[in-house]
Structure 1
Amino acid sequence: MWTAAAAVTLFLLSACAQQTAAGTPGPGPSPETSSAPATGGSGDALVLRVSSAGGFVPPSAIVGRLPETSVYADGRVIFNGPVTLSYPGPALPNLQWGTISPATLQQLLDKAVAAGVRPGIDFGQPGVADAPTTEVTVVTAAGKRTVGAVALREAQPDDPQLTKAQQQARTKLRAFVDELGDLTTRLMTGEPQQYRPEIIAGIVQPYVEPEDQPGRPRAVPWPGPALPGEPMNPDLKLSCVAATGEQADAVLAAAKDATAISPWVWADKSWSVLLRPLLPDETGCADLKAAR
């Protein structure tokens, strides 16, 4: 078996050799606690992610929800950029990306494991209703580990439904999640750039006139695959399309003239389309069906 030092050295060499542009891909610790990165594979391999699941939000928002932060084996970090406070917001989410060094990546994996992303950690169930679950995923030589903490940001640190040990575990995990968020300002090797996906998905449902608008928003012709696309949840009348190549370019261009509530017109019918850029470890609508 490789020692931890050998695994880190191999990772540093491979990560330096695999730097690519985002969207164009492009006796040591025991196995249960090792934070050495998983070696080999593609630079598109996910190694660290913070995301949300559940919560009191519309079904389309759950399916189309983006992770807060995703970190890949080649050092790319893709994250949600600043959001405008104007209404309606833009049709396309403000995804950005930058890179971190192999040393910084290793430090983050170490800190994630130390913060509780490992077996046997109990984060409890606070007395907060309808709050999302913050999930943290780490992929190392020990395998893939995902932990979830309900209402990590919404619950009070001294919630009486949590034991002292659970309160301490949640404090450590939240501190790590907050530190990972600081990647957008402190740890990047250069200025963040706009993320341009190779594939953009659309979460589609029949268009309904918004009640809080004085007039109908301007319609935008849909330049992507035929709507409504592949059914995702028949009970909720949600479907999905995935645009690639020239169609993806056309959708991205059309989105500049659309808002989050614009009706998209295809074959003389109007549809609501929630645009969801796919990340390097995602390949199509099937990846979004598993959203919770």
Structure 2
Amino acid sequence: MTPFRYLRTATAAATLVLLGACAQPGTGAGSSPSSAPAAAPPTDGDALVLRVKQTGGFAGPEMIASRIPDLSVYADGRLIFDGPVTQQYPGPALPNVLVRTISPEQVRQLTEQATAAGVRDGTDYGQPGVADASTTEVTVTTSAGTQTVAANALREAMAEDPQLTTAQQEARAKLRTFLDGTDKLLAGSGAQPYLPETLAVVVRPYVQPGDDLPRPQPVAWPGPALPGEALAAPQKLSCVSATGDQRDAVFAAAKAANSATPWSSGGNNWAVTFRPLLPGESGCADLKAAR
């Protein structure tokens, strides 16, 4: 589980301190003074400016296919992020995806901070001696182009991991400091549930739970016929997407269900994982590249 799920209790005041600290180019964490103007973020409102996501790691194929980025920042100031979840089992059927808006100045500050923190193609984070950990991938887009870095086991690696050089440890520390700052930013007020134009659903055959577990009653599926198009053949994963009235019907049914609910469609029962599509995504094809 990513750090974004643990740090939602920071106050809005901390957010203001964070943004004030990076108000001047070259004063953000890990930066050095420079007289050169910082590269500006895109101005097209739907353009993706910054994304933080997890890839790989020890997770089931359906979870990898439906994984939501920790944070997506768009040029118009929208922050779409994976919000906190309860620890109850079974959990809610729908993920807690939230959206809030920041100012254009704050968007610019975020891109400057990311660049200052080392989000540039080729930054070396090394490979720590940790097995089965996810990789944190950070992408920033400015007028200078798109830069992406990837750090495996960014939070799990030991502070003195012998497989990491001093330079790699320093690069990882700078990236963690930047991500800690974005966590605080997400604690600001005004977050609302994110309602996507399209709701994708990762589908797999339903398997009855063991004898010692409750057997929930199937619920009639109100959306496009399951199982839909093949997504990952070896794992028997498929996918459907719903828009308009079908999307609304699926959302309404899912709010009354939970993550263990079986859904009946076409004479069979199915297990589903919901994945709200983000701006720039249009359908199940966007989930095939998940890793």
1:215 Cα offset (Å): 2.4
For the residue of structure 2 that corresponds to 1:103, the secondary structure is: helix
Residue from 41, 58, 61 that aligns with 1:37: 41
Say if 2:66 and 2:274, in contact at 8 Å, map to a contact too: yes
Partner of 2:64: 62
Query: Is this contact kept in 1: 2:41–2:108, CA < 8 A?
Result: yes
Aligned equivalent of 1:179: 181
Is 1:263 aligned to residue 262 of structure 2?
yes
Normalised TM-score (structure 1): 0.85
Are 2:56 and 1:46 equivalent residues in the alignment?
A: no
1:146 deviates by: 1.2
In the alignment, does 2:278 pair up with 1:276? no
CA offset at residue 218 of structure 1?
2.5
User: Residue 139 of structure 1 corresponds to which residue in structure 2?
Assistant: 141
Task: Quote the RMSD (CA, aligned, Å).
Answer: 1.6
The SS at the match of 2:230 is strand
Percent identity at matched positions? 60
**One-letter code of the match for 2:204?**
Q
**Residue identity in the other structure for 1:71:** V
SS of equivalent residue, structure 2 residue 128: coil
Contact 2:66 2:275 in 1 (8 A): yes
Cα pair 2:117 2:174 within 8 Å, conserved:
yes
Q: Secondary structure at the match of 2:50?
A: strand
Give the conservation status (yes or no) of the 8 Å contact 1:220–1:257.
no
Q: Which amino acid aligns with 1:281?
A: G
Q: Separation in 1 of the partners of 2:277 and 2:121?
A: 29
Q: What is the one-letter code of the residue matched to 1:244?
A: T
1:246 aligns with 2:218: no
1:288 equivalent in alignment to 2:287? yes
Matched residue SS, 1:153: coil
CA distance in 1, matches of 2:171, 2:241: 39
Distance 2:269 2:212 in 1: 17
Structure 2 counterpart of 1:165: 167
Counterpart amino acid of residue 283 in structure 1: S
Alignment partners' CA distance in 1, 2:168 and 2:233: 39
Instruction: Figure out how many residues of one structure are paired with residues of the other and give that number.
Output: 258
| TM-superposed deviation, 1:119 | 2.5
- What's the CA shift for 1:257? 1.3
Q: SS where residue 274 of structure 1 aligns?
A: strand
Gaps of at least 5 residues in structure 1 are 1-27
Contact 1:38 1:142 in 2 (8 A): no
TM-score by length of 2: 0.85
1:255 to 1:213, Cα distance in 2 relative to 1, 3 A? farther
Matched AA of 1:54: G
Conserved? CA contact 2:114–2:178, under 8 Å: yes
Secondary structure at 1:224 match in 2 = coil
Q: Does 1:84 align with 2:86?
A: yes
Distance in 1, Cα, partners of 2:60 & 2:211: 17
Structure 1 stretches of at least 4 aligned residues deviating more than 2 Å after TM superposition: 210-215
Gaps of 5+ in 2: 1-34
Match of 2:29 in 1: none
1:112: which partner in 2?
114
Letter in 1 for 2:112: D
Aligned residue type for 1:100:
I
Q: CA offsets, 1:154-196, max 9 Å, x none?
A: 111221110000000000001111111112214xxx5111111
- Find out whether 1:204 has 2:199 as its counterpart: no
